[in-house]
Structure 1
Amino acid sequence: MSDAATIIASGLRKTFEAPGGGALHAIDEVSLRVRPGELTALVGPDGAGKTTLLRMMAGLLRPDAGSLQVLGIDVTRAPQAVQDRISYMPQRFGLYEDLSVQENLDLYADLHGVPQELRRERFARMLEMVDMARFTERPAGKLSGGMKQKLGLACTLVRSPDLLLLDEPSVGVDPLSRRDLWKIVQQLVESEKLSVIVSTAYMDEAQRCQQVYVLHAGRLLAEGSPASLTERARGLSYTAIPPAPLPARGLQARLLDATELILDAVPRGSAVHFVRRPEADERDLAQILGSAELQTRPAELEDAFMMLLRRNQQEPDSGTARSQPPEKSIARSQDHGPLIVVRDLVRKFGDFTAVASTSFEVNRGEIFGLLGPNGAGKTTTFRMLCGLLPATSGHLEVAGLNLRTARAQARGRIGYVAQKFSLYGNLTVRENLEFFGGAYGLRGQARQKRLGAMLEQFGLDPQTVSGMLSVGHKQRLAMAAGLLHEPEILFLDEPTSGIDPLARRAFWRTITALAQTGVSIIITTHFMEEAEYCDRIAIQDAGKMLALGTPQQVREQAGGNSATDMNQAFIAIIEQGRGQLPHHEAGGRT
């Protein structure tokens, strides 16, 4: 093997048995060449084959066909020789939560055979790099999500590898933690000339890499530098400014529905960024834009990525909501006043205050975003709003019911989609929906009618065993279960964590349609661009409310304007709240 390549794959294939029988080609005739000392990205939708490819590179899966050389070694013949020279951080890194930070480092050093004389210097360097030297005695289970990811990276690097493989390292972490993780990775590449291959669902992360490989359904769709891939969308990218009072997400939904003309559309500030199909004439846009103002804009990597995915998409409309508004929502949409009222809400765990004197209201049909770093108190607030956790003090009213005195009644009016897939993995899709329909009090024909509607709306196969579903389809099933009883309020706790941009577009099309029927949506997310879909957002940190208002008002509070990136605004508000001067990198993309 030439010194000019860290990895050479040729005609690589990996096939598994599909859940319903037959063959699933997880990797199908993939050939690629990874250069040394660079950051390389693997991007693609859920089920594209990114994790399978990384596991083969790590010597954990054996290819069914083709050849794969890693660091000059045939990984099929000598997987242990490869594993002795690489470090691999999977999506669910195995920290031992009862052990302290230091004990986790010690354990992984033992597993990797790191000599005692090297540990002190290596541990000190890793702890400094991940900014956790102050927390060596803290149990890993007591760390926030972002700190767990940083500790996982430190444990992965207790020895000095020649190649680092990272499988979506920033899934489920907030923009501040994501920025810190990428600073660490880039520092390793620059100072140690380390070769790093990372799979990611974030296009701004792929933008940082020298080489990007786009995968879909096990096949390689495209490869190249971010600049060369972005060139594919040149001349097809636009900004549309909707006329008042049409919200940006309303124009976005209209554009997404025009699939014969439009490849992609997302809200950005008070405008919509969209990409037209190359075969569509610019003059054809007038009929869907109406009186919206149209401007051309430079193409972005995400524009090219979405172009590639749309052109290879097998189910163009699966997961989007096109059904008629539920009758229940229409009947109640005439009610007046806020649907959720929170006044001076406090939750303590012993001496620790998880939520401190929080107040806000949510109106009918409003999409309300609850944002904050890991450990900010968002999930605790959610659990109190859902009646799953009693408040220490304060007033909490949901759908006109006081949660202190009518918690069970209030639960019947709300739907909840948890942060982690919480349905029964050994049951089929239909059996899960049957079970939850019964739990919500649906019986007989009413239950079967709703079950059929949910299966159709979310494009689900009723016979598939739920545990065998992809991450994106599990999310659809959880949504279907939460909406079976036609709730007035839907709580969504980081529902898009770990799913790709294509699935996120479909998800938000569903949410926009639900809000139009009068359903109130309360959502937490770490994708800051998703805040643009919300009517209003609140930003919490350390249990305290730092900002509350429309996305535009929050950007202004952060010292920005309508064009300010929401990641920048979020980081600025958190750092202001913590009494820090704005970080010198806070103005860049994270």
Structure 2
Amino acid sequence: MMVIEAKGLTKHFLQKDGETVEALRGVDISVPEGRLTALVGPDGAGKTTLMRLICGLMTKTAGELSVVGLDVTEHPQAVQDLLSYMPQKFGLYEDLTVQENLDLYADLHGVPQELRAKRFAHLLAMTELAPFTGRLAGKLSGGMKQKLGLACTLVRSPKLLLLDEPTVGVDPLSRRELWQILQQLVREEHLSVFVSTAYMEEAALCETVYVLNRGRFLKAGTPEELRSVAKGTCYAVRPPEGMPLRSLQSRLLAEPGILDAVPSGGVVRFILRGNPQELSTLATLNLLAKPIAPRLEDGFMTLLKEDAAKGSTLPEPAKFGAFAAASPEEAPVEIEVQDLVRKFGDFTAVSHTSFAVHRGEVFGLLGPNGAGKTTTFRMLCGLLPATSGKLSVAGVNLRTARIEARANVGYVAQKFSLYSSLSVYENLRFFGGAYGLTGAHLFQRIEAVMEEFHLREVADHAAGSLPGGYKQRLSMAAALIHEPKILFLDEPTSGIDPLARRTFWREITALSERGMTIIITTHFMEEAEYCDRFMIQDHGRMLVLGSPEEIRQRMGLQDATMDDIFVAIVEQSRREEEANEKKGAAV
């Protein structure tokens, strides 16, 4: 039986200006029951629209759509009674406990009292939330919140589970645990799961993957079938001594014929239909590329590029000059942290952390949800005072001259935080004024950032009405309008697709090569490869600090992915912590 079946499914939206936008264009899909099926595609491809049509939360413009054997248009409520849907922003009640959230969703779904005890026990055991039933949902880590959201979605036993990017903003350890739960549900309960994801390694765990772009399916098949799209076109090359992976990646992406390039495992992987030795970048740097096996992401990127997808989430970066190899440690120190501590009552969020960041360096703050990295990040930005320790930014003591220090930094929040009712131009004028820019200098900087981030065509549009890509451009423009020395980026690529992440990192590479210092938090561990150095925190303590290559060698995991290295470091630390606690209890 097919749990989802569509033929010629079409959805149009009528804009305020009278124009029609085609979100889905003649989509055909057949999803068999009892399987994990993935939906992938760039931002704006139509993934969420398809999910909402399947749920009966929207009505189709044309075509046929049946879910669990029922016509969705004729029987929307009956369909909703048979499926469970977890959207990107699942509505947990943060002032209620874990148990109270489960009880509330069971009430909403009409789950009989006699079935609840067994169902709750099963879900709590599966999500490992049983010890936390009395804890407020608002006090849970990001990963635990996602698992509670999944448990609430499953308080009844559905015939179909729909998940819209369930692991956005979740660390690799928590992502792995959540996918183990999904695989267990399919294996033990024969549950049908249809999931959209921005992580290609997650899609590779599914039996079938659908690639959606501009409202059309480009291809559907097993992960192996999609990998084969890039067969014979994938290569790896190691940069010369002193050149960051991101710099080599940006230069390769500028080459004609290159479909994709991305740092991975200490090398830059790239896709090329042609002879790699004819690339000017490799010839100039005297580098040799080696053929490698394709990954699912390679097939995905090949399909997108060959579909000639138009538009991007960020403008093309400035042109790169000749690269001059230099060690970041030779540059002046822009951020200095010594014995930094932050407490909330009796709880220590950051414990005696010390490190330095040099001018022009890209420095990553990584860690599981609840590790203390966001607290560290906010202290570096001047948004949160330290309990103790020394913290200087651009040579200014952040504890005694916070306003002066913040004048040297730009900040891009994870969530869009500009003024939605103001136009693009009005936002830039407001934030420029807030940073102390006036008169001709202010208007000159507004013109400069609108040009750099391709915002002129939407200058009069309300910021809240912009597509996601334009919002990200505007956030970057506002953060850079006062030409800061340091740029802070808080999970800037959370929830965006691989194509958009490539474009974003080309811009960051251009900024760093102009001497700007970049501090970034991210849950995409592959992005640690873009950093000159990164640190991993857990339970408020710094576990490791160094370049990707140094950490790879230290762990003895030269060929491992950054996800695997991250998980190994965190799990090793937690085992040692648990052993020490047992030893202390025995004494």
Pairs within 5 Å for 1:19-34: 21-34=18-31
Alignment of 1:508-523 (within 5 A): 508-523=505-520
**Alpha carbons 1:575, 1:581 under 8 Å: kept:** no
Structure 2 distance, partners of 1:397, 1:75, is 59
- How far apart are 1:558 and its partner, in Å? 3.0
Measured in 2, the distance between the counterparts of 1:340 and 1:282 equals 40
Q: Per the alignment, do residues 163 and 404 of structure 1 end up closer, same or farther by CA in structure 2, a change over 3 Å counting?
A: same
Q: Over residues 242-286 of structure 1, what are the superposed CA-to-partner deviations in whole Å (9 max), with x where a residue is unaligned?
A: 22222222111100111x22011011133100001x3x4444225
Correspondent of 1:533 among 521, 530, 537: 530
Matched, 1:417 2:412: yes
- 2:381 & 2:368 partners in 1: Cα distance? 21
Question: 1:545 maps to what in 2?
Answer: 542
**What residue identity is the alignment partner of 1:292?**
L
SS in 2 for 1:433: helix
Matches within 5 A, 1:332-343: 337-343=332-338
Equivalence for 2:358 = 363
- Please report how far the alpha carbon of residue 209 of structure 1 lies from its aligned counterpart in structure 2 after TM superposition: 0.9
- Residues 1:431 and 2:426 aligned together: yes
Contact 1:247 1:270 in 2 (8 A): no
TM-score by length of 1: 0.93
**Structure 1 residues 153, 378: CA separation in 2 closer, same or farther (over 3 Å shift)?**
same
Structure 1 distance, partners of 2:382, 2:277, is 52
- Provide the C-alpha distance between the structure 2 equivalents of 1:350 and 1:189, rounded to a whole number of angstroms: 43
The one-letter amino acid of 2:317's match is: A
* 1:58-457 correspondence to structure 2 within 5 Å: 58-258=55-255, 260-276=256-272, 278=273, 280-285=274-279, 288-290=282-284, 291-311=286-306, 312-315=308-311, 318-322=314-318, 337-457=332-452
3-state SS of paired residue (1:578): helix
User: Using the alignment, how far apart are the partners of 1:393 and 1:400 within structure 2?
Assistant: 18
Cα distance, 1:316 vs structure 2: 6.2
Deviates more, 1:235-244 or 1:306-315: 306-315
AA partner of residue 567 (structure 1): D
| Correspondence for 1:56 among 33, 43, 53 | 53
User: Aligned residue pairs: how many?
Assistant: 568
Matched letter for residue 208 of structure 2: Q
Distance in 2, matches of 1:534 and 1:169, equals 26
Structure 2 Cα separation of the partners of residues 149 and 165 of structure 1? 14
Residues 453 and 288 of structure 1, relative CA distance in 2, 3 Å threshold = farther
| Residues 12-69 of structure 1, C-alpha deviations (whole Å, 9 max, x = no match) | 1111234655111111211111111111111001111101100110111111111100
Report SS of the residue matched to 1:574.
helix
- Counterpart in 2 of 1:329? none
How far, CA to CA, are the matches of 1:487 and 1:321 in structure 2?
18
Query: Given the alignment, which residue of 453, 478, 483 partners 1:458?
Result: 453
Structure 1 alignment gaps of length 5 or more: 326-332, 583-590
Structure 1 residue aligned with 2:9: 12
Q: Helix, strand or coil: the match of 2:162?
A: strand
Gaps of 5+ in 2: 322-327, 579-587
The 2-side partners of 1:436 and 1:368 are apart by 25
Q: Give the CA deviation at 1:515.
A: 0.6
Whole-angstrom CA distance in 1 between matches of 2:478 and 2:205: 38
2: CA distance, partners of 1:445 / 1:384? 33
Query: Which string of whole-angstrom CA distances, capped at 9 and with x for unpartnered residues, describes residues 94-116 of structure 1?
Result: 00010000000000000000000
Question: 1:483 maps to which residue?
Answer: 480
* TM-score computed with the length of structure 2 as normaliser: 0.94
Q: Specify the code of the residue in structure 2 equivalent to 1:81.
A: A
Q: Secondary structure at the residue paired with 1:96?
A: coil
Using the TM superposition, give the Cα deviation of residue 557 of structure 1 relative to its aligned residue in structure 2, in angstroms. Answer: 3.2
- Matches of 2:312 and 2:144 in 1, distance apart? 38
Q: Deviations over 1:161-204 (max 9, x none)?
A: 00000000000000000000000001011111111000000000
CA drift at 1:288 = 4.3
- Does the CA-based 8 Å contact 1:46-1:470 persist in structure 2? no
Q: Distance in 1 between matches of 2:313 and 2:86?
A: 34
